[in-house]
Structure 1
Amino acid sequence: MESEHERSGDTVGVPVEDRRADRATEAFVAHRNLLFTVAYEMLGSAADAEDVLQETWLRWAGVELAAVRDPRAYLVRITTRQSLVRLRTLGRRKESYVGTWLPEPLLTAPDVAEDIELADSVSMAMMLVLETLTPTERAVFVLREVFDLPYEEIAEAVGKSPAAVRQITRRARAHVAARRPRGTVSPAETRDALQAFQRAAATGDLRGLLDILAPDVVFMGDGGGVRQAIPHPVTGARDVAGLLARLGRFSAPSLRPAHVNGYPALVLRVGGEVDTVVAVRIDDGLISGLYSVRNPAKLSHMRRVTTLCR
């Protein structure tokens, strides 16, 4: 039976199926940014997150909406399940990846940093920590710790009991806590560290680089076998500083600040196109991680701002 709204003048002559399709579209669009954020945090790949959203839409379009009590929870559940399927495919793809694999960087609006928990969860450093979790642990951690979903909803999304989800949450939380940056870093601290790094790299100032780099700093480069990049991570302040001093005099003057994955980063453009994105991790005021992404297939989301939300 049609509702009063469906019989009202603004829907006269519109087939019931069309009205249902409109409602499905409205609900999906309303939650699209949330669904993308969920998928991206689970996958570390914006391209794969977009594919997951396509799959989510196809399944959502076939759902009987009258039976759905909470469209947001239902859509998150579909997105999570599709992300888990995609994660296993990504795992096989990473095994044959040429060189170091890094998450796909996103150009984000400065206001993302205002939500500290969201910015921290999508930072390049945290995305790499999430890579060390199993697919199920990653899904549970993201849904609980980032999006604060009830255990019962997470259990439905991952096909586990609520009790099992609680155990997985504790295990994943401890795993992440042992590997995440040691303290919350403000965008201003990140920006200051980047500026100091850029000044030192631009002049080849080895002493200046050593002053801003943590003793156990790691430099990682991702060229995907398409662009030249450091084939293996370089660790230790002296080795990283030496590498940057050699490279920086050529590239540092052309690096420009941008907000990437919720935090300030540096972007190199060549001929108007993004060539390299350099994100950082900071611990105790020093740069402990430098992540340089050059693979062209991973730079498409640097052309426009991606809206993230919880």
Structure 2
Amino acid sequence: MARVEWGYQGRGKWNCSYRKTTLIVCSINIVIALYVLRSLYASVYVRSNTDFNNAVKYTPDQIDKMEESMRIRGAKKPIELLKVVKKLKQELSKEDSVLELPRAVKQRVSDEILQRLHSLDAKTNVSAVREVVESWRREKLEEAKQSIGSQKMNSNILQEQTRLLIRALESDWAALSEEIGLWIPAEIVHQEHDDKPEGVKEEEEEEILPGRPVPPECNTELHTDYGGAAVRWGLTHPKESAADCCQACLDQAKRANPGQIKCNIWVYCPSETGCHSPDIYQHKNQECWLKYAEQPKINFKGKYPNSYRHSHPTAPLIVPWVSGVVRV
């Protein structure tokens, strides 16, 4: 009995020491965790105080100087240059919007304007021509706005093209006119001055066109640019001579199918450096344009007007094109 009691007492002592050991270990862990947290908090607090103490502090005099410096820099800004840059950006954005119009839409605009102009008499003045074009622009703009407002367009592409056309007709009309080659000259009153001494005759130099002679039926007119609807696009239609260009016009008129537009105007660029035009294209030597107009009208002849050269600084003094109106 004595042995069993001793074993029971020993087991009780062992259990008591295990609990104490566990409590001691947990207490030590808690103390260590609190110490680590205190150390971290102290380091953050010290660092924030150090950054605050190291921050640059300016005196009132230094602040006044900095404000004065900012005012001087603001006054030295190239305001006029910034305005010019802003204006150029706006013009470029307008040109981009016009260039986004599909070529078919531009061609349709050009054809509709030509149809309106065909109804005019050959002696119609410039003001009347300008009024006809402006009337067409207003009608076309109203028509396009109504088509957008009616929401009858199922195609997103068609809606986007109509929006671009509205913008071109409303705010980018000048860029669109130049793009399609529409230019209405200012009305100029020409006065002839004969201030040459009596008995002195003007000697006219006969200009020779390169290539073979041009036949009489071509009705060649030097330094002349006729307008009209394009039957053959000159940018992709080069000819070696003015005679060849005229012959191409005659051939097209002979071979045209019934109801097809027949060429009755040819326009050729004989200049080796290219020929000037108010549109956006670079017209090169040997370009041959085949055109049609019910009442052929001259765009330019002889010398470009001073008013035109003022608005187009790159224009030469004399019209470089050679043209002719043929009978079909």
TM-score after normalising by structure 1: 0.24
Structure with more of its chain in helix, by fraction: 1
Structure with more of its chain in strand, by fraction: 1
Structure with greater contact order relative to length (CA < 8 Å, sep ≥ 6): 1
TM-score after normalising by structure 2: 0.23
